[in-house]
Structure 1
Amino acid sequence: MSDPSLRSSTGPIDGSAVSRSTALIITALVLAECLSAFEAGMIFIALPRFSEIFEAPASTTGWAVTAYMLVAATTALVGGRLGDMYGRKKVLILAMLVSTLGSVISVFGDSMGAIIVGRGVQGAAGAILPLCYGIAREALPAGKVSLAVGFISGAALLAGSGGSLIAGLLLDVADWHMIFVFAAVLAVVASIVAAFALPGSHTPAELPRFDYIGAALLTPGLTALLFGITQGPKWGWTSVGVVGLIVIGIGVLAVWTVWEMRRREPLVDLRVLTNKQMSLNLLGLSVLALGPIGAVQIVTPMILQSPTSLPVGLGMSATVTGLVAGIGAIVGFGASPIAGVVAGRWGGRTAFLIGAVLFAVANLMIYFGHKSLPVMMGVFAVAAVATAFAYTGYPKIVIESVPEQVTSVTTGVLSTARQAFSAVGVAIVSVMLSLWTVPGTTAPALSSFDLAVGWFIACSLVVAVVCLFIARPNQTGGAEETAPENAEASATSA
């Protein structure tokens, strides 16, 4: 738990003042994460339009996704560390303003190359989520932290699903430029709200040295590894390019790990991950990313949009698919405060466990009810609630397990791991779906589909078992939150 002496004190605070400041802080953090999730999800629906306008192949337009992902994976770690060192509020606002610059580059560059560069700059938004978790822990009364984490996680879910819907509407009523204009306006608004609503972050009296060599090793190592994984299905897993990138990435990251372990003030304190709670947390999130929160995004649109003449397919339009996903996201966002309450009262492991079990239920519904639209609508709703609980649980375990001053960089490690294992999961499931196909087509046969869904169920159950071995906060000496009714009375100024 953060030391109360590190927070500024302005004297006694009445309950209404604390409530107002808490509401403003949570609003600012939710808005910031809405920006991050929107920028991550907005681009997918625009890729076909880019191919038409710029006469570019899918291998080129896909870089608009890849560039963002590669930069975001690195900035989640580096941005988290900078926030822990120099003040999370400052770095959060800087990350949002840099992402604004990325949108401007895309709009005024007016070319596929400029869009790719702009998307890479937008990747600075990858730092937003870990910074938001750190700010919530630093600035809020202890009894409100879990609630804030729940809302932040719910915002990621809602804005992520809404990104494609909003982008689609902007593409239909205007043109592709408006997607980036909307992102830029959202970034500016979120930055202004953060500047006025968030309290100043605590910075240590003696700043540690920033690990420039660690950052220099991490960036190419992580980039090579993730790029190799994402290109595997396209280039072939045995191709020289893919094997070379993965080997180089692993080699550089191995050197980086040795360097970090020997540093007194590392970029990422990897010793934190040797904590049993954190090791199991990282394992659970990684396995979850291999299936239910990663590659499942390949399967669910396929079920809704594939023709009914195929073994799997409901023949729905892209608009209906977006609406179904949007309704599910709204349900998930509605469940996020409940997830926060559960995590606050019974610990992050309980919320994480509930999320894993619900993911198993959602995929069992897919397995037995994929031919029914009402069942699939239920699948999206259950999966959204599962995501809200899982995304509230794993950062809460971080808060329970590590010192306050490394909260952001540690959650950044988990965010980066989630992205990396999601990429691996997509590759695994892509292979599964191609094992058996409908004769004369590339569509997966029912046996391939069953194998993929079975994989999602198995991953969910493994995560549930892992959660059972994560001890409750009071059993590990972790930071227990004070009861909500006592938090406001004992809290110092936020």
Structure 2
Amino acid sequence: MSDTASRQPAGSALGGPARRSTALILTALVLAECVSAFEAGMVYIALPRFGEIFGAPPSTTGWAVTAYMLVAATTALVGGRLGDMYGRKKVLVVVMLASILGSVISVFGDSMGAIIVGRGVQGVAGAILPLCYGLAREVLPPGKVALGVGYIGGAAMLAGAGGSLIAGYLLDVADWHLIFVFAAVLALVASAVVTVAIPGSHVPTDLARFDYLGAALMTPGLTAVLFGITQGPAWGWASVRVVGLLLGGLAILAVWTVWEMRQRDPLVDLRVLSNKRISLNLLAVSVLALGPAGAVMIVTPIILLSPTSLPVGLGLSPTTTGLVSGLSALIGFAASPLAGLFAGRFGGRATFFVGAVMFIVANLMIFFGYDSVPVMIGVFMVAALATVFAYTGYPKIVIESVPENVTSVTTGVMATARQAFSAVGVAIVSVLLSLWTVPGTTAPTTASLRLSVGAIIVCSVIVCIICLLIGRSRQVAPTTAEPATDDAVKAPVAQA
């Protein structure tokens, strides 16, 4: 059966009276991902204000970030699997409506504790990205799937940057409640658009059994590991609590792995990692998050915001820094169709490779030009292009390499790995930045900065090498963007 034909039951987008336009479907998918990215980024700028209003120390307000991250990492996998089983459109709408509940809890609870609980509920939005990738493959015409993946990746970056800008503006003109009100309205509008614009998802006639025990094992295991990583800098990496969390979490995940390998219908089909392209793709995503797409997040603010009296610092205001970030995100989003077309023509591996090369260029610019405002603005622009190419490339590799019915859960694995290794990268670079500091301050010296950026460049080079090892998909022909048959989709898995 052809890939197009296999999607016809849900794909009234491809024909019939209920036909939807590609532009309308893309708009719905982009808007849905904006919910996820906005909710992930909106709270950072509000943390100092929370501390002032509720008299809470940073160790407490930081839980507004941690709670979201821990839930998002788990729901990326669970939500992706539920979408593959019961219909991605249905699960996507449920997830966005659930995130509204998180905003309501934060607004009406009106306390730091309520905000933390609400942010945890909002964390279900972590499932949105893998569900959108799966829907792009399911409901878009085959030749437009790569374009859709590009737009979704661009939306993630644009809304992430927009989260800080909008939240900052609302804090200036009103109060913190409106941040959550805006998030709720955005999720409500996106839910309505998805309901109208996206055709009903295909649901298998022979439903697999949901792996409840697998979910019950994975959740505490993954949470313990991620919590241990995030608390390592504060508690000390050798502390009993951190070591206990890491070892305990890894032990639970080891048991979970054994359980999953024995199941006919696992929560996550780990056998897909026997596919060389998928396993190398996962490794590349992890290294990318370790450096250029993760750890660099704490390097650039130090350079831009630190006073010029320090060895590393350009003395820009938070507003100017936000504008630079927002402008670069707009440029990245504008380039997302180009990344999608490139992926459709040359495949996910080549697209990912181009993104990694641009990350090398961006970080070399930091290494040699950290003391120049124009150079650092250029860094943001190049990094935005690198991000949209990389975030288009890695899900496209998944689409080229696995059957359609496990697309969302497999991209969910990638999203979870990206989040986990981003936390690891931030912790490592934090240590590197503190190796040599200006006497009497915590500010890094030039040597610390260059060591940190050098480590990020090494990670970028490793990603390039891994991309070359992934190999070209047999499905991607010079004149077509998508495979023609289900057999072609399954071929790489069978070969592995």
1:265 match: secondary structure? coil
1:435 match: secondary structure? coil
1:122 aligns with 2:122: yes
Per the TM alignment, residue 6 of structure 1 is displaced from its structure 2 partner at its CA by: 3.8
Checking the alignment, whether the CA contact within 8 Å between 2:346 and 2:476 is kept in structure 1 is no
1:193 aligns with 2:190: no
Partner of 1:306: 306
Partner of 1:483: 480
Q: Give the direction of change, closer, same or farther, for the CA distance of 1:211–1:442 in structure 2 (3 Å limit).
A: same
Partner of 1:453: 453
1:7 aligns with 2:8: yes
Q: Give the direction of change, closer, same or farther, for the CA distance of 1:484–1:208 in structure 2 (3 Å limit).
A: closer
Deviations 1:99-125 (A, max 9, x none): 000000000000000000000000010
Checking the alignment, whether the CA contact within 8 Å between 1:84 and 1:407 is kept in structure 2 is yes
Counterparts of 1:81 and 1:323, CA distance in 2: 38
Checking the alignment, whether the CA contact within 8 Å between 2:288 and 2:463 is kept in structure 1 is yes
Aligned ranges 1:311-390 → 2 under 5 Å: 311-390=311-390
Partner of 1:140: 140
Q: Give the direction of change, closer, same or farther, for the CA distance of 1:74–1:309 in structure 2 (3 Å limit).
A: same
**2:5 counterpart letter in structure 1:** P
1:473 match: secondary structure? coil
Q: Larger deviation: 87-96 or 463-472?
A: 463-472
Counterparts of 1:387 and 1:200, CA distance in 2: 31
**1:216 counterpart letter in structure 2:** A
**2:131 counterpart letter in structure 1:** L
Deviations 1:187-217 (A, max 9, x none): 0000000000000001111111000000000
Partner of 1:437: 437
Counterparts of 2:177 and 2:340, CA distance in 1: 37
1:469 match: secondary structure? helix
Checking the alignment, whether the CA contact within 8 Å between 2:433 and 2:448 is kept in structure 1 is yes
Aligned ranges 1:268-287 → 2 under 5 Å: 268-287=268-287
Aligned ranges 1:23-38 → 2 under 5 Å: 23-38=23-38
Structure 2 alignment gaps of length 5 or more = 485-496
- How much identity, in percent, do the aligned residues show? 73
Counterparts of 1:370 and 1:233, CA distance in 2: 26
Partner of 2:48: 48
Checking the alignment, whether the CA contact within 8 Å between 1:101 and 1:118 is kept in structure 2 is yes
Checking the alignment, whether the CA contact within 8 Å between 1:436 and 1:444 is kept in structure 2 is yes
Aligned ranges 1:173-188 → 2 under 5 Å: 173-188=173-188
Per the TM alignment, residue 4 of structure 1 is displaced from its structure 2 partner at its CA by: 1.8
Checking the alignment, whether the CA contact within 8 Å between 2:130 and 2:411 is kept in structure 1 is yes
Counterparts of 1:371 and 1:202, CA distance in 2: 54
Checking the alignment, whether the CA contact within 8 Å between 1:277 and 1:471 is kept in structure 2 is yes
Counterparts of 1:190 and 1:296, CA distance in 2: 31
Partner of 2:489: none
Counterparts of 2:458 and 2:14, CA distance in 1: 52
Counterparts of 1:368 and 1:11, CA distance in 2: 50
Per the TM alignment, residue 480 of structure 1 is displaced from its structure 2 partner at its CA by: 6.2
Per the TM alignment, residue 62 of structure 1 is displaced from its structure 2 partner at its CA by: 0.3
Counterparts of 1:482 and 1:155, CA distance in 2: 27
Checking the alignment, whether the CA contact within 8 Å between 1:399 and 1:479 is kept in structure 2 is no
Q: Give the direction of change, closer, same or farther, for the CA distance of 1:207–1:481 in structure 2 (3 Å limit).
A: farther
Checking the alignment, whether the CA contact within 8 Å between 1:142 and 1:482 is kept in structure 2 is no
Q: Give the direction of change, closer, same or farther, for the CA distance of 1:47–1:365 in structure 2 (3 Å limit).
A: same
Counterparts of 2:94 and 2:478, CA distance in 1: 30
Checking the alignment, whether the CA contact within 8 Å between 1:221 and 1:249 is kept in structure 2 is yes
Per the TM alignment, residue 335 of structure 1 is displaced from its structure 2 partner at its CA by: 1.0
Deviations 1:332-380 (A, max 9, x none): 1111111001111100001100000000000000011111111111000
1:338 match: secondary structure? helix
Structure 1 runs of 4+ aligned residues shifted over 3 Å read 9-14, 478-487
Partner of 1:490: none
Per the TM alignment, residue 485 of structure 1 is displaced from its structure 2 partner at its CA by: 12
**2:450 counterpart letter in structure 1:** D
**1:41 counterpart letter in structure 2:** G
Partner of 1:491: none
Per the TM alignment, residue 273 of structure 1 is displaced from its structure 2 partner at its CA by: 1.2
Q: Larger deviation: 408-417 or 432-441?
A: 432-441
**1:318 counterpart letter in structure 2:** P
**1:96 counterpart letter in structure 2:** M
**1:90 counterpart letter in structure 2:** K
Q: Give the direction of change, closer, same or farther, for the CA distance of 1:50–1:222 in structure 2 (3 Å limit).
A: same
Checking the alignment, whether the CA contact within 8 Å between 2:343 and 2:481 is kept in structure 1 is no
Per the TM alignment, residue 479 of structure 1 is displaced from its structure 2 partner at its CA by: 6.8
Checking the alignment, whether the CA contact within 8 Å between 1:76 and 1:128 is kept in structure 2 is yes
Counterparts of 1:17 and 1:118, CA distance in 2: 37
Checking the alignment, whether the CA contact within 8 Å between 1:2 and 1:403 is kept in structure 2 is no
Q: Give the direction of change, closer, same or farther, for the CA distance of 1:482–1:74 in structure 2 (3 Å limit).
A: farther
Deviations 1:63-114 (A, max 9, x none): 0000000000000000000000000000000000000000000000000000
Per the TM alignment, residue 483 of structure 1 is displaced from its structure 2 partner at its CA by: 3.4
Q: Give the direction of change, closer, same or farther, for the CA distance of 1:412–1:369 in structure 2 (3 Å limit).
A: same
**TM-score of the superposition, structure 2-length normalised?**
0.95
1:245 aligns with 2:245: yes
**2:182 counterpart letter in structure 1:** F
Structure 1 alignment gaps of length 5 or more = 488-494
Counterparts of 1:242 and 1:319, CA distance in 2: 36
Checking the alignment, whether the CA contact within 8 Å between 1:225 and 1:245 is kept in structure 2 is yes
Per the TM alignment, residue 10 of structure 1 is displaced from its structure 2 partner at its CA by: 6.4
Counterparts of 1:479 and 1:203, CA distance in 2: 27
Q: Larger deviation: 4-13 or 170-179?
A: 4-13
Partner of 2:403: 403
Q: Give the direction of change, closer, same or farther, for the CA distance of 1:45–1:423 in structure 2 (3 Å limit).
A: same
Per the TM alignment, residue 481 of structure 1 is displaced from its structure 2 partner at its CA by: 9.6
Counterparts of 2:483 and 2:61, CA distance in 1: 53
Partner of 1:291: 291
Counterparts of 2:219 and 2:481, CA distance in 1: 41
1:175 match: secondary structure? coil
RMSD of aligned residue pairs (Cα, Å):
1.8
Checking the alignment, whether the CA contact within 8 Å between 2:103 and 2:183 is kept in structure 1 is yes
Q: Give the direction of change, closer, same or farther, for the CA distance of 1:11–1:54 in structure 2 (3 Å limit).
A: closer
Counterparts of 1:411 and 1:379, CA distance in 2: 28
Q: Give the direction of change, closer, same or farther, for the CA distance of 1:341–1:10 in structure 2 (3 Å limit).
A: closer
Checking the alignment, whether the CA contact within 8 Å between 2:296 and 2:456 is kept in structure 1 is yes
Per the TM alignment, residue 2 of structure 1 is displaced from its structure 2 partner at its CA by: 3.8
Aligned ranges 1:249-268 → 2 under 5 Å: 249-268=249-268
Checking the alignment, whether the CA contact within 8 Å between 1:103 and 1:181 is kept in structure 2 is yes
**1:74 counterpart letter in structure 2:** T
Per the TM alignment, residue 5 of structure 1 is displaced from its structure 2 partner at its CA by: 3.0
Per the TM alignment, residue 231 of structure 1 is displaced from its structure 2 partner at its CA by: 0.2
2:200 match: secondary structure? coil
Count, aligned residues = 482
Q: Give the direction of change, closer, same or farther, for the CA distance of 1:293–1:216 in structure 2 (3 Å limit).
A: same
Checking the alignment, whether the CA contact within 8 Å between 2:40 and 2:160 is kept in structure 1 is yes
Counterparts of 1:277 and 1:304, CA distance in 2: 38
Per the TM alignment, residue 440 of structure 1 is displaced from its structure 2 partner at its CA by: 1.2
